[in-house]
Amino acid sequence: MFGKKEYVKLTCISSSHLYNLRGTRQYRSRSTFFTKTKPAKVTIGERCKPQPYGKPGYLRVDTVHQGDLGRNKGVYHINMVDEVTQWEIVGAVEKISEQYLVPLLLELLKQYPFVIIGFHSDNGSEFINKIVAKLLNKLLIKQTKSRARHCNDNGLVETKNGAVIRKHMGYAHIPQRYASPINKFYRNHLNVYLNYHRPCGFPTVITDKKGKQKKVYNIYQIPYLQLKSLEHAEQYLKKGITFEMLDRIAYARSDNECAALMQRAKVELFKSFNHKLQLPTTYAIPTNYYAIRVPASDSISGSYDD
């Protein structure tokens, strides 16, 4: 009709065979065009690795999900670790939306005895959003996020996820409705045990004759003692908090007594779950265990009563 002679051969080909020809490699190589994905630029947070220079208050933050069961989501754990002292505060929340996450972040930040300066996380939307950014700006906390192709930017908190959360809570699915009792267990027992009674490995950088540096973990110390060992450590504490107050928490129980109390509370926590869950680790609790009560007013991070 329009005098296009180059299409004469196509008049003898059926429509179904045209689709067969379009699926061949030769046709696709000539007709298909690929464009690179244009990443969305998010102005929230700065892409950099924090440099604390030996000062506490630079947190590494990550989220741990307690698995799915069909269409039912599990509880979320929020893990926050200070880079210098390895002071670790853990919390639990039903969902990682702003409605649930922002109140929990405020609660966890208040449990630190020293001033918080930095907040570093990966590029997940639970932390990189306007509501969390507004909260951190209000508290004068600088927000940073991991760099592309630098998987070790948030390596400290990643190791704590396995050594602490997965060790004590396991991998089994825990429904979201148990986030509140889990968070209470963290606040009253696990966080106290982690920071006042559980040693952590601190590396020492050694340089050989060729100038190559490597880290050697030859120092094991409790985060609280690591905080006290810093030069002029009193200047990093929050207003109204002294080491005398923290000493009453640290030396109220021995390490073994606090561990036994924490394990007993964890056993009771897992018994309260309605569905069958296997306790990740089992420890023998001494029969002659004696609990030492500490008044709730002496604790800076919530109730410390048994």
The pLDDT of residue 287 is above 90: no
Question: Which residue(s) pair with 69 in the sheet?
Answer: 72
Please report where in the chains the tokens 């509501």 appear, as a residue: 131
Can you say how many angstroms the Cα of residue 209 is from the centroid of all Cα atoms in its chain? 38
The amino acid that residue 226 corresponds to is: Q
Look up residue 12 and give its DSSP letter. G
Rounded mean pLDDT, 188-201: 95
Residue 296's pLDDT is 42
pLDDT of residue 192: 96
Structure tokens at 230: 């810093």
Contact assessment for residue 301 and residue 111, using Cβ atoms and an 8 Å cutoff: yes
> For the segment 203-217, what is each residue's pLDDT rounded down to a tens digit?
888 998 888 988 898
pLDDT at 63 over 70: yes
Q: Kindly indicate the confidence band of residue 285, based on its pLDDT and cuts at 50, 70 and 90.
A: very low
Rg (Cα) of the chain, in Å, rounded? 27
What confidence tens digit (pLDDT) does each residue in 131-165 have? Answer: 999 999 999 999 999 988 888 889 999 999 999 99
> Residue 109, SS3?
helix
Q: Which two tokens stand for residue 35?
A: 């464009």
Distance CA(161)–CA(158), nearest Å, equals: 5
Q: How far is CA 299 from the centre of its chain?
A: 24
pLDDT digit string (tens) for 249-280?
Answer: 999 999 999 999 999 999 999 998 865 555 66
Q: Which domains does the chain have, with CATH numbers?
A: 46-298 (3.30.420.10)
- Fill in the amino acid letter for 58: Y
Query: Given phi > 0 = left and psi -120 to 50 = alpha, else beta, which region is 70?
Result: left
Beta strand 200-207 pairing with 213-221: antiparallel
Residue range 105-126, pLDDT digits in tens? 999 999 999 999 999 999 888 9
Strands 118-121 and 213-221: unpaired
The DSSP secondary-structure symbol of 233 reads G
Question: In angstroms, rounded to a whole number, what is the distance separating the alpha carbons of residues 306 and 184?
Answer: 12
